């Protein structure tokens, strides 16, 4: 009677499913840093599990079918399972019985995907965990999990590790975020596991397969990356001195501002009396915790920025500014306000007319060299006092979400002002006179952010840096029913000794990263203010009657320059005499810091020695066991030593046959081998065999003879890349 065939999944099937599950989860992890917590994580984990389990079930069910057809049938099973799972999780309201997909559900999914693309294009990390983002991530990782599962099923392990590495690195590349070292370590471990258990192995083949070298090389490369990437500077495509600094459209500038050494970020050339502020992005959406970039229409930068938003009676100053980015990596270009035309850029850059900024999903600002034509509105003091703040479609933060102290202080500080402009001047002067600039106070007092609670703490401590001044000013202006937004960009640069015709060359360094508020006035547009203490020059507009100072409506005020952005005659912040004197924006060579070199050297040495240390530990344990008469441990050590030395090793040969070959071809001591072979045969064939005499001396002699029989290069290779660690 024939023995029944088991229908349980074979170990290979279960192993493939488990590896696919873990690999997809590891690839998903970095996305938790760029998308806010929400239902999307549950959906992604669920679809990954569904793919893995349905793949195991399909391969077990069709295990007797030819391999190519089995793969197609398994894929069909996975697609059906995914369709049911995704419908239940994402579109149950349109499904039959809450499970079966319908045409309405497919249409709804398409609309959500379109919204998700818009949210990604206009958002800043962490992106809101909306239903659209949940749908997009669920579908995306369905494809990722399917591909990983089938690559592993076909034993295409190199493609698997390459694909999962790319998927996991995407969030860091797209957002220009910091390196997720923990993920790199986990991915390195995953690569070793996949190469070890996912590769195809031939039982009768020589045991040191190409996957051994690939595994160790992959581990060494990734581990070296962990040490090299944080320590070494990137080089800007356009040249220039210093490191290439990543800048994104958010208000997390603290770490960049606290860097010990400033670096040149860009240079600009202008004939204006003072250089302009440069803007990267504007943020007008506040949810109580985070300010997010504006969402607006885009058009190719070649088409310009559209009509001017201010009325004809408002004077306009036109000028030309040439900019070269030498040390910034960003998807946004630094431009002065208000840009009207830009020349010298490759295709791929898009203009946002609403806020006069430039963005791209395919280009990088690094190395860009371009010229901006600007037109800046310059209202008189009487004109701006005659109008009111308003006219912009911005949804203010809910009063219920703001601490009472914000609105109370805003009304108290502006109580004596008669116009919206004078109220804003009162706020600006209050911040600049009553507060102190500090990079450390927000960290020490735990309010290093722009959320409503952080602003309330800042108003109490009265010490912080630009994002705290801008965030507090913006929320206080909103509490007075004024449309306000925050600009992220750069303070004006420092004049150099270089000139280009009648224009002067200015250098903008990394410590000039800045943020400031803008308020919209009817018929004038966005008017910037400079509340940050000790930085820039406060905004004032000149009277038609002449120049002068004071807050009296009949007394003219001085305007430091005809620009709509706060301008500056001196933009240096607090004294930074404790910084490295060699680090300057003028191109001076920074002092050599040996720390990165030492870290890299230590990392490389550690990577090179780890495999050998692991192998030495295994040999020490086996020699210890052989001392107690463990014949099998001793013989395994002989086999592993042969694998490390790249000597022929076949699973079909007996212990005696192998010993005879080693004596004849390698000159290994025959007596030492005889002791080991007798112990192995006695352990393998004798009934009730027990551990015998000490075998460590014989084992040590055999190992020494094997190492002596090969070249020094092979011995070094055996120590650095011991193939036996991954030998099956």
Among 120, 225, 164, 139, smallest CA distance to 25 is for 164
- For the chain, give the number of residues: 728
pLDDT digits (tens, 9 = 90+) for 665-685: 989 999 998 999 888 888 887
Higher pLDDT, 117 or 144: 144
Report the distance separating Cα 275 and Cα 359, nearest Å.
Answer: 22
Kindly indicate the confidence band of residue 231, based on its pLDDT and cuts at 50, 70 and 90: very low
Instruction: Assess whether pLDDT exceeds 90 at residue 428.
Output: yes
pLDDT digits (tens, 9 = 90+) for 595-627: 545 555 565 566 567 778 888 888 998 998 889
| Percent of the chain surpassing pLDDT 90 | 9
Q: What is the mean pLDDT of residues 69-91?
A: 86
pLDDT digits (tens, 9 = 90+) for 406-421: 889 999 999 988 899 9
Q: In what order do the strands lie in the sheet with 291-293?
A: 291-293, 278-286, 484-490, 513-521, 525-528
Torsion sign across C-alpha atoms 600, 605, 611, 614 = negative
Report the distance separating Cα 307 and Cα 354, nearest Å.
Answer: 10
Give domain limits for the chain. 11-181, 245-528, 596-726
Most confident of 158-167, 245-254, 401-410: 401-410
Cα–chain center distance at 381: 46
DSSP one-letter code for 308: -
Q: Are strands 503-509 and 494-500 parallel, antiparallel or unpaired?
A: antiparallel
DSSP 374-426: EEEEE--HHHHHHS-B------PPPGGGS-HHHHHHHHHHTTT--SHHHHHHH
pLDDT at site 608? 64
pLDDT at site 93? 65
Instruction: Assess whether pLDDT exceeds 60 at residue 259.
Output: no
Higher pLDDT, 203 or 669: 669
pLDDT at site 431? 92
pLDDT digits (tens, 9 = 90+) for 702-721: 999 998 898 888 888 888 77
Report the distance separating Cα 207 and Cα 227, nearest Å.
Answer: 32
Higher pLDDT, 407 or 254: 407
CB-based contact 146:51 (threshold 8 Å): yes
Instruction: Assess whether pLDDT exceeds 50 at residue 503.
Output: yes
Most confident of 261-270, 304-313, 621-630: 621-630
Higher pLDDT, 117 or 492: 492
Largest CA distance in the chain: 115
Kindly indicate the confidence band of residue 125, based on its pLDDT and cuts at 50, 70 and 90: low
Residue 49: which H helix or E strand, with range? helix 39-61
Kindly indicate the confidence band of residue 579, based on its pLDDT and cuts at 50, 70 and 90: very low
The structure tokens listed for 66 are 């030819």
Most confident of 221-230, 266-275, 413-422, 681-690: 413-422
The structure tokens listed for 419 are 């116009």
Q: Which of 125-139, 182-196, 445-459, 560-574 has the lowest mean pLDDT?
A: 560-574
Instruction: Assess whether pLDDT exceeds 80 at residue 9.
Output: no
pLDDT at site 59? 85
Instruction: Assess whether pLDDT exceeds 50 at residue 572.
Output: no
Instruction: Assess whether pLDDT exceeds 50 at residue 98.
Output: yes
Instruction: Assess whether pLDDT exceeds 80 at residue 113.
Output: yes
Q: Are strands 484-490 and 278-286 parallel, antiparallel or unpaired?
A: antiparallel
Instruction: Assess whether pLDDT exceeds 50 at residue 37.
Output: yes
DSSP 17-29: HHHHHHHHHHHHG
Among 70, 24, 27, 72, smallest CA distance to 50 is for 24
The structure tokens listed for 395 are 């949804």
| Percent of the chain surpassing pLDDT 70 | 76
Report the distance separating Cα 256 and Cα 513, nearest Å.
Answer: 8
Distances in whole angstroms, Cα of residue 438 to Cα of each of 275, 463, 535: 25, 6, 12
Report the distance separating Cα 137 and Cα 140, nearest Å.
Answer: 5
Instruction: Assess whether pLDDT exceeds 90 at residue 427.
Output: yes
Instruction: Assess whether pLDDT exceeds 90 at residue 155.
Output: no
Residues 386-413 as b/e (b if ≥16 CB within 10 A, e otherwise) read ebebeebebebbeeeebeeebbebbeeb
pLDDT at site 209? 41
Instruction: Assess whether pLDDT exceeds 60 at residue 456.
Output: yes
pLDDT at site 152? 84
CB-based contact 265:490 (threshold 8 Å): yes
Instruction: Assess whether pLDDT exceeds 50 at residue 542.
Output: yes
Measured at the CA of 144, the angle between CA 139 and CA 145, to 5 degrees, comes to 95
pLDDT at site 582? 37
Instruction: Assess whether pLDDT exceeds 50 at residue 11.
Output: no
Among 47, 579, 488, 541, smallest CA distance to 284 is for 488
Those residues with Cβ within 8 angstroms of residue 390's Cβ, 6 or more apart along the chain or in another chain: 481, 482, 483, 520, 521, 522
Higher pLDDT, 558 or 257: 257
Instruction: Assess whether pLDDT exceeds 70 at residue 5.
Output: no
Kindly indicate the confidence band of residue 429, based on its pLDDT and cuts at 50, 70 and 90: very high
Instruction: Count how many Cα atoms sit within 13 Å of the Cα of residue 707 in the half-sphere of its side chain.
Output: 15
Kindly indicate the confidence band of residue 531, based on its pLDDT and cuts at 50, 70 and 90: very high
Q: Are strands 463-464 and 436-437 parallel, antiparallel or unpaired?
A: parallel
Instruction: Count how many Cα atoms sit within 13 Å of the Cα of residue 413 in the half-sphere of its side chain.
Output: 26
Measured at the CA of 214, the angle between CA 213 and CA 215, to 5 degrees, comes to 90
Q: Which of 56-60, 207-211, 684-688 has the lowest mean pLDDT?
A: 207-211
DSSP one-letter code for 225: H
């Amino acid at each position: 009677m024939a023995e029944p065939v088991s229908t349980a999944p074979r170990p290979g099937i279960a192993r493939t499913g488990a590896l696919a599950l873990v690999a997809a989860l590891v690839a998903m992890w970095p996305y938790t840093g760029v998308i806010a917590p929400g239902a999307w994580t549950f959906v992604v984990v669920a679809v990954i599990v569904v793919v893995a389990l349905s793949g195991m079930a399909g391969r077990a069910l069709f295990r007797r079918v030819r391999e190519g057809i089995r793969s197609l049938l398994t894929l069909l099973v996975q697609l059906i399972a995914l369709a049911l799972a995704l419908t239940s999780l994402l579109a149950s309201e349109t499904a039959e019985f809450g499970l079966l997909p319908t045409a309405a559900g497919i249409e709804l999914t398409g609309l959500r995907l379109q919204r998700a693309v818009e949210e990604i294009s206009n958002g800043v990390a962490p992106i809101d965990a909306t239903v659209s983002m949940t749908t997009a991530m669920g579908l995306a990782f369905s494809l990722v999990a399917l591909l990983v599962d089938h690559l592993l099923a076909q034993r295409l392990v190199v493609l698997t590790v390459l694909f999962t590495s790319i998927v996991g690195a995407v969030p860091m590349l797209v957002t220009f975020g910091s390196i997720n070292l923990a993920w790199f370590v986990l991915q390195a471990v995953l690569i070793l596991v996949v190469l070890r258990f996912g590769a195809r192995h031939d039982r009768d083949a020589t045991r040191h397969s190409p996957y051994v070298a690939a595994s160790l090389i992959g581990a060494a490369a990734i581990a070296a990356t962990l040490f090299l990437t944080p320590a070494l500077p990137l080089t800007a495509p356009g040249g220039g001195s210093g490191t290439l600094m990543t800048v994104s459209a958010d208000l997390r500038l603290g770490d960049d501002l606290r860097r010990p050494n400033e670096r040149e970020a860009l240079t600009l050339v202008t004939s204006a009396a003072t250089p302009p502020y440069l803007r990267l992005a504007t943020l007008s959406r506040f949810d109580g915790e985070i300010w997010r970039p504006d969402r607006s229409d885009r058009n190719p930068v070649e088409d310009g920025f559209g009509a001017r938003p201010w009325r004809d009676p408002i004077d306009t100053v036109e000028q030309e500014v040439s900019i070269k980015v030498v040390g910034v990596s960003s998807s946004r270009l630094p431009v002065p306000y208000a840009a009207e035309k830009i020349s010298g850029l490759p295709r791929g850059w898009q203009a946002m007319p609403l806020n006069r900024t430039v963005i791209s999903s395919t280009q990088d600002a690094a190395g860009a060299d371009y010229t901006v034509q600007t037109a800046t509105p310059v209202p008189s003091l009487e004109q701006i006092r005659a109008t009111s703040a308003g006219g912009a479609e911005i949804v203010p933060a809910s009063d219920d979400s703001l601490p009472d102290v914000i609105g109370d202080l805003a009304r108290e500080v502006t109580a004596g002002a008669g116009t919206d402009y004078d109220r804003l001047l009162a706020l600006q002067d209050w911040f600049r006179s009553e507060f102190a600039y500090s990079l450390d106070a927000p960290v020490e007092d735990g309010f290093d952010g722009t959320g409503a609670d952080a602003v309330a703490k800042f108003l109490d401590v009265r010490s912080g840096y630009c994002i705290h001044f801008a965030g507090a000013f913006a929320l206080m202006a909103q509490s007075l029913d004024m449309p306000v937004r925050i600009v992220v960009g750069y303070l004006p640069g420092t004049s150099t000794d270089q000139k280009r015709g009648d224009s002067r060359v200015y250098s903008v360094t990394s410590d000039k990263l800045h943020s400031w508020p803008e308020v919209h006035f009817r018929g004038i547009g966005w008017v910037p203010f400079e509340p940050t203490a000790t930085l820039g020059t406060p905004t004032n507009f000149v009277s038609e009657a002449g120049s002068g100072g004071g807050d009296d409506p009949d007394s003219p005020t001085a305007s430091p320059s005809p620009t709509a952005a706060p301008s500056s005659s001196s933009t240096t912040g607090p004294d930074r005499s404790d910084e490295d004197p060699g680090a300057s924006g003028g191109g001076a060579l920074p002092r050599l810091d040996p720390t990165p070199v030492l870290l890299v050297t230590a990392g490389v040495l550690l990577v090179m020695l780890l495999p050998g240390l692991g192998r030495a530990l295994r040999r020490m344990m086996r020699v210890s066991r052989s001392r107690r008469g463990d014949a099998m441990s001793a013989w395994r050590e002989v086999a592993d030593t042969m694998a490390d030395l790249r000597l022929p090793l076949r699973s079909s040969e007996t212990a005696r046959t192998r010993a005879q070959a080693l004596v004849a071809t390698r000159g290994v001591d025959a007596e030492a081998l005889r002791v080991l072979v007798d112990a192995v045969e006695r352990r393998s064939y004798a009934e009730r065999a027990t551990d015998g005499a000490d075998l460590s001396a014989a084992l040590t002699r055999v190992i020494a003879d094997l190492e002596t029989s090969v070249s020094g290069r092979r011995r070094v290779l055996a120590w650095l890349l011991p193939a036996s660690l991954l030998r099956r």
